[in-house]
Amino acid sequence: MISTQKISKYKDTQWKRIRAEDMVIETDKKDPVAIYKAELSGGGFVVPNISFLPEKKRDASKYFLMDHDDYEHASKLYAYGKKDLLKVLMFFGEYLLKVFGKRKTIYLRAICPLRMSTTEEVDDFGTGNKATRVFAEEVFDVIQLARLQQNEKFARDDAKLIRLGNKWNSENGYYQTITLAELNKVLDEFEVDKSLLTVIDDPGQITASKMTLQSDRILKILSYDNCLSVDIPQCILYAVKSLIVGIKWEKVSENSKLNIITPIWDCRWQCKEGLYSIYDHIVHQIKVKKMEHLPIYKSTIKRPDFFMVSKSPEENVDSDIYIKMAEEYGLKMFQVFREDDQVPVFVMRTLVVIGFLDSLELGSQMDDFRNFVIGAMLTMVPVDSRPLIKEYLINSAKEPLPEKKVPIPEPRKPLPNPETSEQTSEIILEIPPTGNPDCPNCAANRELEVNMIETVQELQKQLKLMEPQGRMVFGTKEGIISHDDQIKELEEELLELEELGEEYFTDSTEVVRIHIETADEDLEELQEEIREAELELKTLLQANKRLLEQIEQLEKELEIENLDFEISKITIETSQITS
């Protein structure tokens, strides 16, 4: 039976390929993932379109790459104030084609899979987590521009294209990606000449990968609509580092543990391969979860530097750091740690995450999830060390948890007597003034500040009243407790309130800082508009000057004509008299 399936006339065409080793990347210090210049080994360079756009005008833009041939045209469009043509690939490509008859080279950013060694060759057409991928929405615009460059009849309201766009449309804060094998099929389906395309390893991802190695940050890249985004493994790793690390889980109920871990757990199984989430969406979800369990997380406002962010990944640190951490938080004592030994920072970071994850003690049901987190953590490990670390962490699940030590309380220091002490460490909080009514951090939040400070003041009063009474006992619903215990409870409550207040004031400061930055950006934009207006005014003044000169010239000519008329009139009158 003869197949009736249509074969693309461009089926045998191939896209060009530029890999990470084919470029040298210079990054912007302020925003290295988004703004850069990648020098290509074959000559020329590529830059992102948003490098031409003010930060305030990037929200409505779509992220695409321009090369050295595009740069001059883009610079002129920027100078002439036609920045909107730089926001979308289709707008810019159509402008070059219709005005200059020039085909823009179409670059498609490739999101490369995790490599397990520096000698490993990346198979573009691999499967699963070994597949090279591209953002689906970016492909949608590439198809339109490529068809335009081919002089193909291709209506923008084409039903087939609309169905594809609806299928790939980002929803609920998630972005779809497709493999290069899927890309090849789609391009053939829409009769696209693949030689018009250049698939290039995303310079932003290359930079972000290096930054992840140098710190405890998760791997973030820019989506097609210019938002920071993370894949699902990195989302889960971020949630684990934010919600699991730093908590003494032996003091938390089983129900609370499950309530915190289950949404992270479910995300692993419900999300399909290659899905990316908006980074801000994940941050918001984590904040919501912390607010739901505020008693657990309010004591972690000033948490230790578990990930040693100031150190390079291959710098050695003492094992004693983890040993003390394990004793305090009830973590697993891994075999790699011995007293007086040293381990690289990247090893310490991965074992801290797994140590806290295991301290949840939720049984073998956690094994699959644990292995998934291990896979996500490999972005924090130097490439050639990844296989060894992965194998060790997976096998470490068989190691038993350390015996729980009963903490021995230290001798309690006597509280200073305010009458005999020359100095006191007591913190006195005063009710804040009403502040500026136009400031949202003064007017809207003052009531919360006042309530918080009044509560702290009341607790301080209770402490002062109780201190001179000596050792007494009080009856409570829980039983008989000593005076010292009562004071200790009040002191702990006071400390928690002060920490909570510090977090609140820190957040308020951050909001003010954001408002100031936004105001600076607005001022920058206003100054730019003023400069443009001044140029327009200067042009108008020059035109006005020329107009005045023309009027003056006309007036002079009119005066001469009037004079000639008067002379002619006199001549006529003279000839009449003579006659």
Q: What is the 3-state secondary structure (H, E, C) of 479-539?
A: EEEEHHHHHHHHHHHHHHHHHHHHHHHHHHHHHHHHHHHHHHHHHHHHHHHHHHHHHHHHH
Distance between CA atoms of residues 397 and 313, nearest Å: 24
Angle at 489 between CA 483 and CA 490, to 5 degrees: 90
Q: What is the DSSP letter of 171?
A: B
| Residue 1: per-residue pLDDT | 41
Which residues of the chain register pLDDT less than 50?
1-4, 401-445, 466-481
pLDDT, tens digit, 9 for 90 and up, residues 423-458: 333 333 344 444 444 444 444 445 555 555 555 566
Cβ atoms of 216 and 346 closer than 8 Å = no
Rg (CA), the chain: 35
| Residue 496: per-residue pLDDT | 63
**E strand intervals along 534-575:** none
Non-local (6+) Cβ contacts of 201 within 8 A are: 18, 19, 20, 23, 109, 110, 112
| Residue 479: per-residue pLDDT | 40
Distance between CA atoms of residues 544 and 578, nearest Å: 51
Q: Any idea of the CA torsion for 452, 457, 462, 466, to the nearest 10 degrees?
A: 130
Distance between CA atoms of residues 175 and 276, nearest Å: 5
Distance between CA atoms of residues 397 and 366, nearest Å: 10
Distance between CA atoms of residues 97 and 104, nearest Å: 8
Distance between CA atoms of residues 377 and 245, nearest Å: 14
- What's the number of CA atoms in the CB half-sphere (13 Å) around residue 198? 15
| Residue 478: per-residue pLDDT | 39
Distance between CA atoms of residues 136 and 177, nearest Å: 5
Non-local (6+) Cβ contacts of 302 within 8 A are: 499, 502
Distance between CA atoms of residues 127 and 533, nearest Å: 56
Q: What are phi and psi of 416, to 5 degrees?
A: -65, 145
